[in-house]
């Protein structure tokens, strides 16, 4: 039944999702109608997202005051992709149309934040169950690690909307954004397990080895020498064959020329505008990426101008939805616009931090190899 004042019923929202996932895009009238419904339904999550984001910030800041925060309404292309991939998924029941994230320095802090968030009744559903996915304890097959929670937050009509909250470490964040950079620039879909095997192997290995680095106390405050020493201490406590993993990782890095490749992606993307570093306040940024012409354009919106930002976002997405268009459109929010590159490095092809920590593993592999050579030489002489 349609709620009083609501322009679309639940059935219409579900039907629109089915058309956008499997319908005929040449039927412009039906596409425009269904696209409008999707934009409406996504917008209905805006107030709920604000509530979730506020709770996340209040919970995280006492634990890590310099945590990185971000929030977003799911991109059109991501919504449609999810509807296509999961047989029983519907637009009406999708749980992560609105999502926000906190990035912190250690798994220990992730666990503490989760414990605090779970005290809120917003995460307890009527059946008394919590909706969560612990991808740190049980990583995805591709190596993805993070902690996801689904909560119900009030919207402007007082109904409850599902919002996803993610808490991850910086290393997990750098891993996830590096994978998205490769998807963006190589036309793969590693994020949905539809990529080339060598790249899949690479990210799986890095995910496993980054998890060891994440267990090194105060890792981010250490010199590279101390990071490597900490890695060896923690790797000895791991059940995995880390020596073999390092060897395989080094082989893939050489074969795919990964360090140079990431650098070339970053240098190829021409960013139109230079005001990002001059904005310290919170706000929205509309990003339009043209991979074919290697160009990124952006528009900055004040934190109070979210309605205008969403209207421009919907307009750009309708253009990008054309079958012959390769544009990537995203509306992102960050608590400080000058930090947007750190919150969303994937959209800027910025793999600097990922490569920094990958180099820790590269140096560790060289030490292992040199140690093996010395042992062999000592036996010979």
In the predicted structure, residue 209 carries a pLDDT above the cut 50: yes
Within-domain flag for 262: no
pLDDT digits (tens, 9 = 90+) for 126-169: 776 888 999 999 999 999 999 999 999 999 888 999 999 999 99
Within-domain flag for 300: no
- As to burial, measured by CB atoms within 10 angstroms (0-12 exposed, 13-18 middle, 19+ buried), residue 360 is buried
Question: With contact defined as beta carbons under 8 Å apart, do 361 and 242 qualify?
Answer: no
Which strands sit side by side in the sheet containing 328-334, from one edge to the other?
131-134, 147-154, 160-169, 98-104, 68-73, 328-334, 283-290, 295-302, 270-272
pLDDT-derived band at 3 (thresholds 50, 70, 90) equals low
State the residue range of the domain holding 120. 1-169
Long-range (24+ apart) CB contacts under 8 A made by 38-41 are 38/76, 38/79, 38/91, 39/310, 39/314, 39/317, 40/7, 40/8, 41/8, 41/13, 41/16, 41/91, 41/92, 41/97
Within-domain flag for 35: yes
Average pLDDT over residues 264-279: 70
Within-domain flag for 249: no
Neighbours of 373 (CB within 10 A): 10
Q: Is residue 221 within a helix (H) or strand (E), and if so which, with residue range?
A: none
Within-domain flag for 297: no
Q: Give the SS3 label for residue 341.
A: helix
Domains contained in the chain, number: 1
Q: What is the pLDDT of residue 17?
A: 97
**What's the CATH number where 18 sits?**
3.30.460.10
Within-domain flag for 377: no
Within-domain flag for 85: yes
Q: What is the pLDDT of residue 272?
A: 63
Average pLDDT over residues 174-181: 95
Average pLDDT over residues 55-65: 97
Within-domain flag for 214: no
CA 313 to CA 75: how far, in whole Å?
9
pLDDT digits (tens, 9 = 90+) for 348-360: 889 999 999 999 9
pLDDT-derived band at 337 (thresholds 50, 70, 90) equals low
């Amino acid at each position: 039944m349609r709620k009083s004042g609501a322009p679309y019923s639940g059935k219409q929202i579900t039907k629109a999702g089915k058309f956008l996932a499997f319908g005929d895009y040449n039927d412009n009238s039906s596409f425009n109608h269904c696209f409008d419904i999707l934009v409406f339904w996504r917008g209905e999550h805006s107030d709920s997202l604000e509530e979730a984001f506020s709770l996340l910030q209040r919970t995280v800041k006492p634990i890590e005051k310099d945590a990185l925060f971000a929030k977003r309404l799911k991109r059109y292309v991501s919504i449609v992709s999810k509807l296509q991939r999961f047989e029983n998924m519907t637009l009406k029941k999708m749980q992560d149309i609105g999502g926000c994230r906190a990035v912190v320095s250690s798994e220990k802090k992730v666990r503490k934040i989760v414990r605090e968030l779970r005290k809120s009744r917003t995460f307890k559903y009527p059946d008394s169950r919590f909706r969560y996915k612990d991808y740190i304890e049980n990583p995805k097959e591709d190596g993805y690690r993070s902690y996801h929670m689904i909560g119900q937050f009030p919207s402007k009509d007082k109904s409850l909307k599902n919002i996803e909250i993610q808490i991850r470490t910086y290393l997990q964040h750098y891993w996830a954004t590096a994978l998205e950079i490769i998807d963006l620039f190589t036309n793969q879909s590693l994020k949905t397990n539809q990529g080339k095997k060598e790249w899949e192997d690479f990210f799986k290995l890095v995910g496993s080895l980054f998890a060891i680095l994440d267990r090194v106390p105060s890792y981010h405050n250490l010199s590279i020498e101390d990071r490597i020493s900490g890695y060896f201490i923690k790797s000895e406590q791991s059940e995995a064959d880390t020596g073999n993993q390092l060897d395989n990782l080094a082989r893939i890095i050489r074969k795919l020329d990964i360090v140079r490749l990431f650098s070339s992606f970053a240098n190829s993307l021409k960013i139109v505008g230079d005001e990002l570093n001059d904005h310290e306040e919170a706000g929205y940024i509309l990003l339009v990426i043209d991979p074919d012409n290697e160009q990124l354009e952006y528009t900055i919106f004040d934190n109070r101008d979210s309605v205008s930002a969403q209207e421009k976002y919907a307009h750009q997405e309708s253009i990008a939805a054309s079958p012959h268009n390769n544009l990537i459109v995203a509306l992102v929010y960050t608590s400080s616009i000058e930090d947007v590159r750190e919150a969303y490095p994937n959209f800027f092809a910025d793999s600097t931090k990922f490569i920094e920590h990958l180099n820790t593993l590269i140096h560790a592999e060289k030490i292992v190899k040199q140690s093996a050579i010395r042992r062999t030489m000592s036996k010979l002489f």
